[in-house]
A and B are shown apart, each in its own frame.
Chain A
Amino acid sequence: MIPLASLRSTAIFLVPIFFVMLQNLGETPLLRSILILAGSALAVLIVIVPLQILSWAFYTYRYEAGYLHIKSGVIFKKERSIKRERVQTVNISRGIVQRLLGLAGLQVETAGGGAESELSLTAVALEEAYNIKRGLEGPVSAAVAAGEEQAATSAKKTGREEIYRISASELFLAGATSGGFFVLFSLIGLIFSQALPFIPDTFWEFVYDQVTSTTAGTVVLVVLVLLIISWLLSALAFMVQYANFTLHREQDRLHISWGLIEQKQLALNIKRLQALVLHEGLLRQPFGRCALVVEVAGGGSRDQNYITVLFPLLKKSEIPDFLARILPEYRLPPAFVPLPRRALRRYFLRAFLPALLLIIPLQWVPYGWLSSLLLIPALFWGYSRYRAGGTCVDEKQLTLRFRFINRFQVLIRRNCLQALQISANPFQRFRRLRTLTTWVLSSPSGKSFQVTDIDIEEAGRLWSWYSPYF
């Protein structure tokens, strides 16, 4: 990995030089600029390669009797020991280069959590990575080990293997409905606008001639083609990222692995799950599909925006079965307590106000009255938000359902709720409505979920469910 890391840092150094060069492209001859670029690359390499080799040589780790010891640092020495009992997760990830070289990356996260995982080894032999993982995650004592073995054999006897694997067609559907193409489309637009000054004028004259000689129809066509391309690309990217998504449960651990080019593995202790979220994307709802996401205490990594995907796409009708097999701790409620009828008016108001803020100033613009058409989607939006709102409690679990754009169902076990709040503004007090806020632990900090305008009676029920005194 040394040459790779060196190259990467060199490339980072070269970016500003490259851009300075682009600006002066007109003034200095091309050959000279290339020479300067190559020269500075070489200079940077000469400094960085020995540094990388040194830091590699000084980076040592040792696994021994339940402790992982790491020593690192060329000038400033750093030593750290991680106790096995404190380890929350051990992740193995393999990028394309690591796979070519038979290596793997290893991340060890401990309860302290925080933004950075405790320890990350970028290149360990694959075999070694699995050894460390076993060592850190393995059974705590011989008795437990025997118990686990027994359980494993009994599981084999019953012949039930709780493995969920995503099929190719589902994966494609997941990618196609991920909504990533909006991001990609705007990204293409952004790159295009950034590249504008570097495109020669002659090109613009050419385009101008083309555009003026064609109709508006072709412009629409071009935009449409761009949209379709970015949609296909984003679907493809999603498919590559989540290919071979596999989830299985073993005792109280969930094992998740995914990825085609960069393979990732994650082992999650059930105890760390704080909430289960059914994320029904707007595009996925017509297909009756949703994604399963979990809130994890002290977990999740920055490159995934701290989101831990439990399963990228699942038929909603399959969820009860899925939960029974993988997560019997959670239960999908049979029915929700809906919002009272009188809440609908407030939801309409909430949808109309932003629309009106847009529409009223536009009345002074020619064709501005057309913006009043916005009221129709606002109407639908308000109504669907009202319809989505709901709560449900049973003995051990609180379930919230709400929508902003996408619909969420949040399943929280009672002992994972950090606090509960019921609030009301004067209008809500007048209409006997309440807003429910709950907090759960999540990384990097806590998260809150909210359902607006629940009935006052239901609020009271939730309150007494949570408090032993009422």
Chain B
Amino acid sequence: MEIEPRERLDPRALQAWFFSGLIWGLIVVFIPLAYLFLARFIFDLPELYGWIAIGLVAIYTLWEAVIAPRIKLHFWRYEIRNDEIDIRHGVIIIRRTLIPMVRVQHVDTEHGPVMRIFDLATLRISTAASEHRIPALSRGKAALLRGEISALARVSDEDV
């Protein structure tokens, strides 16, 4: 437990998370904006609730796009050893996960449009019973790790 995993995520993750947080905020803010529009021009509704909702969305976006990514990046560590994958992550609840190599069923990498802009990818590790992710690795690194893990998993393969 004392030995923490060494590797960190790619620092570009901050920008990617900032963007995706911002995009989400912009999508969500449409709901109170629509409400305000309706309240002002069509129905006779109190406008106050709309402004409160916009404030909440702004706080949420600030958290999601600016604060949480920093904490997340600060705590995110992983290490791939010959026999196991050791992950530590979390923003409020810090989780430390241990996946033995023998239990790894398959690994894949994936990336969405925002991730693509910053040349990032997520590594997804599946066991027979659970799924674990290492988000925001550089795409080259993710592909490298995918190959490495699948090779290690094959070596230590045994009957489940």
Contacts and interface: CB of A to CB of B under 8 A. Distances in A.
A and B found bound together: yes
Interface stretch (B30-38, B41-49, B86-94): B86-94
A15 to B, nearest CB: 39
Contacts of A464: 1
A425 interface: yes
Contact of A441 (B2, B84, B160): B160
A: contact size bracket: 20 to 34
B23 to A, nearest CB: 28
A424 B93 contact: yes
A467 B86 contact: yes
Contact of A445 (B3, B97, B129): B129
Interface string A116-131: 0000000000000000
B160 A423 contact: no
Contacts of B40: none
A467 B84 contact: yes
Contacts, number: 79
Interface SS of chain A: helix, strand, loop or mixed? mixed
B98 A460 contact: no
A446 B95 CA distance: 19
Given A460-B1, A467-B86, A469-B3, A439 B129 contact: yes
Contact of A425 (B2, B93, B128): B93
A337 to B, nearest CB: 15
A440 B160 CA distance: 11
Contacts of B2: 460, 470
A467 B86 CA distance: 9
A463 interface: yes
A330 interface: no
B98 A466 contact: yes
A423 B129 contact: no
Given A419-B99, A469-B3, A470-B1, A446 B94 contact: no
A9 interface: no
A425 B92 contact: yes
Nearest to B87: A421
B103 A418 contact: yes
A354 B3 CA distance: 38
A448 interface: yes
B130 A439 contact: yes
Nearest to A416: B160
A447 interface: yes
Interface string A409-428: 00000010111111111100
Interface string B48-92: 000000000000000000000000000000000101101000101
A429 B94 contact: yes
A447 B1 CA distance: 24
A446 B128 contact: yes
Contact of B93 (A423, A440, A447, A459): A423
Max count, chain A CB within 10 A of own CB: residue among B84, B127, B128: B128
Interface in B96-144: 96-100, 102-103, 127-130, 132
Interface centre among A423, A463, A470 (most CB of B within 10 A): A423
A441 B130 CA distance: 8
Contacts of B83: 468-469
A446 B129 CA distance: 4
Contacts of B97: 419-421
B98 A442 contact: no
A418 B128 contact: yes
A424 B94 contact: yes
A170 B10 CA distance: 61
A271 interface: yes
B92 A426 contact: yes
Contacts of A297: 128, 160
A422 B95 contact: yes
A445 B126 CA distance: 12
A463 B1 CA distance: 6
28 contacts: A415-B102, A417-B103, A418-B127, A418-B128, A418-B129, A419-B98, A419-B103, A422-B95, A422-B96, A423-B96, A424-B93, A425-B92, A426-B92, A442-B129, A446-B127, A448-B129, A448-B130, A459-B1, A460-B2, A463-B96, A466-B98, A466-B100, A467-B84, A467-B86, A469-B83, A470-B1, A470-B2, A470-B3
Interface of B: 1-3, 81, 83-84, 86, 90, 92-100, 102-103, 127-130, 132, 159-160
Interface of A: 271, 297, 415, 417-426, 429, 439-442, 445-448, 459-460, 463-464, 466-470
Q: Would you list the 4 A-B pairs with minimal beta carbon distance, nearest first?
A: A446-B129, A460-B1, A423-B95, A418-B129
